[in-house]
């Protein structure tokens, strides 16, 4: 009896111990499951990222690269490949790789700006980027790269523009100040006063023209010319440009002639188109010697995507060298600064022409030979494919007048024209 009781007691103790051990094992397993492990933060065999990371990276505007502890690329955006950051599954930029390793080691966020060579070009151009590295979990590292190239270019253009404007304004203002002092000193000499007053008037006119062209350039850069677009007669633009320069041409005995195809129309902003063509004709007159000829001719060109109107302005002037031809459309650039001062040029006329052409979906080109003259050619879309524009914009630009003619949908525009010219 005593033996049986002892066996029963031993069995009870063994069962109790087994239960305690099982309970401890279960709790230990639960704690292990809740504890973050290295494999939970690393990509699995399918290259997956921690939950939510892939979604966040997909909406970032920056180029993104995720590296593991062996510096292998786990995830990279298409922009990162386009910038040449990733090649063959590895980060190809050594300074960024060093930053990633340092961040993995101490967990600190790092940022640096770098100039990277541009892929696929033999020129010395570089990409300006800002790189930021941050830890992502215990082993992964996130690299975000912003392309600063365009921002730097715009900033450089802004600085150059401000510097050029300051210089150009300083010249006539300084001249006016000196001339006013000369007038005061020569108050008892009527002839000197008259001479200095004439010079003051010239400088004041130059200053007025510069300010006006700055306003015009700002307007063509910021306004959308197609908001107020209408069919514009080329004949009227040419006649307006000739009238604008008639006095200057008459003084130099320059003959101005217009020719080419008649009854052509351009689709665009009338004011901007008139300013662009007027600048081309004015340049031709200013840079032509006396008793020469300036010609303006227009024609239609059949090109894929719709016909274009080509307006060529030809002179018999001094011509432009090959090195200057590449820069004549830059702001404030002058082929001959001394001659520009004599003619009152500001260096903004051709820049305005370039912006007007680009904003109207066209272009401006130049052919020139030193000593023989130049030809500036303005190519712009013809106001003929109106039905295609209706479908593209969702609204009629031309309405039927009901009597065999058509007019612009703008109620302020009363011009009418035959159907065959506008709706081929």
Domain boundaries, the chain: 56-147, 150-222, 227-383, 385-424
Residue 61: which of 35, 44, 80, 42 has the closest Cα?
Answer: 80
Which residue is associated with the tokens 């001959």?
A: 336
Whether residue 303 has pLDDT greater than 60: yes
CA triple 186-188-193, angle to 5 deg: 45
What is the structure's pLDDT at 384? 66
Beta-carbon contacts of 163 under 8 Å, excluding residues fewer than 6 positions away, are: none
Fold of 150-222: Helix Hairpins (1.10.287)
Same fold, 150-222 and 227-383: no
pLDDT reported for residue 393: 45
pLDDT tens digits, 215-230: 777 766 666 666 677 8
Mean pLDDT of all residues belonging to the chain: 75
| Assigned CATH for 227-383 | 3.30.565.10
Rounded-to-10 torsion of CA 102, 106, 108, 113 = -10
pLDDT of residue 32 exceeding 80:
no
* 224 three-state secondary structure: coil
What does pTM read for this prediction?
Answer: 0.52
Strand 73-76 relative to strand 86-87: parallel, antiparallel, unpaired? unpaired
Cβ pair 128, 152 in contact under 8 A: yes
In angstroms, rounded to a whole number, what is the distance separating the alpha carbons of residues 95 and 317?
55
Q: Going along 230-362, which residue ranges are E strands?
A: 230-233, 255-260, 265-268, 293-301, 308-314
Nearest to 249 by CA among 318, 328, 332, 317: 317
Residue appearing with tokens 């993995």: 104
The answer to whether 232 and 356 have CB atoms below 8 angstroms apart is no
Assigned architecture for domain 56-147: 2-Layer Sandwich (3.30)
Bridge partners of residue 114, in order along the sequence: 129
Does 40 have pLDDT greater than 50? no
pLDDT at residue number 281: 92
């Amino acid at each position: 009896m005593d033996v049986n009781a002892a066996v029963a007691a031993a069995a009870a103790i063994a069962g109790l111990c087994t239960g305690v051990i099982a309970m401890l094992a279960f709790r230990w397993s639960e704690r292990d499951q809740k504890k973050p492990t290295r494999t939970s933060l690393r990509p699995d065999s399918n290259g997956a990222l921690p939950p939510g990371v892939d979604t966040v990276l997909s909406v970032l505007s920056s180029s993104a690269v995720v590296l593991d502890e062996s510096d292998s690329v786990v995830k990279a955006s298409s922009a990162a490949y386009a910038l040449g950051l990733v090649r063959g599954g590895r980060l190809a930029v050594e300074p960024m790789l060093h930053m990633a390793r340092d961040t993995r080691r101490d967990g600190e966020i790092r940022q640096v700006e770098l100039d990277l060579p541009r892929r696929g070009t033999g020129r010395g151009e570089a990409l300006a980027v800002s790189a930021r590295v941050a830890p992502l979990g215990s082993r992964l590292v996130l690299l975000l790269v912003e392309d600063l190239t365009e921002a730097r270019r715009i900033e450089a253009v802004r600085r150059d523009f401000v510097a050029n404007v300051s210089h150009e304004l300083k010249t006539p203002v300084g001249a006016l100040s000196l001339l006013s002092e000369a007038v005061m000193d020569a108050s008892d000499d009527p002839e000197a006063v008259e001479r200095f007053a004439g010079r003051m008037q010239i400088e004041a006119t130059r200053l007025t023209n510069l300010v006006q062209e700055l306003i015009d350039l700002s307007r063509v850069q910021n306004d959308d010319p197609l908001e107020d677009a209408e069919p514009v007669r080329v004949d009227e633009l040419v006649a307006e440009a000739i009238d604008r320069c008639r006095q200057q041409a008459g003084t130099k005995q320059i003959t101005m002639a217009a020719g080419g195809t008649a009854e052509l129309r351009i689709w665009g902003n009338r004011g901007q188109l008139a300013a662009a063509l007027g600048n081309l004709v004015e340049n031709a007159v200013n840079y032509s010697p006396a008793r020469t000829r300036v010609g303006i001719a227009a024609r239609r060109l059949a090109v894929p995507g719709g016909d274009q109107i080509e307006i060529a302005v030809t002179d018999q002037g001094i011509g432009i060298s090959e090195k200057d031809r590449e820069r004549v459309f830059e702001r404030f650039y002058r082929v001959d600064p001394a001659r520009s001062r004599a003619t009152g040029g500001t260096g903004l006329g051709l820049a305005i022409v370039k912006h007007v052409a680009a904003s109207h979906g066209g272009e401006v080109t130049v052919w020139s030979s030193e000593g023989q003259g130049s030809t500036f050619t303005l190519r712009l879309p013809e106001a003929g494919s109106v039905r295609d524009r209706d479908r593209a914009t969702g609204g009629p630009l031309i309405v039927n007048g009901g009597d065999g003619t058509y007019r612009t949908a703008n109620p302020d525009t009363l011009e009418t024209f035959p159907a065959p010219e506008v709706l081929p």
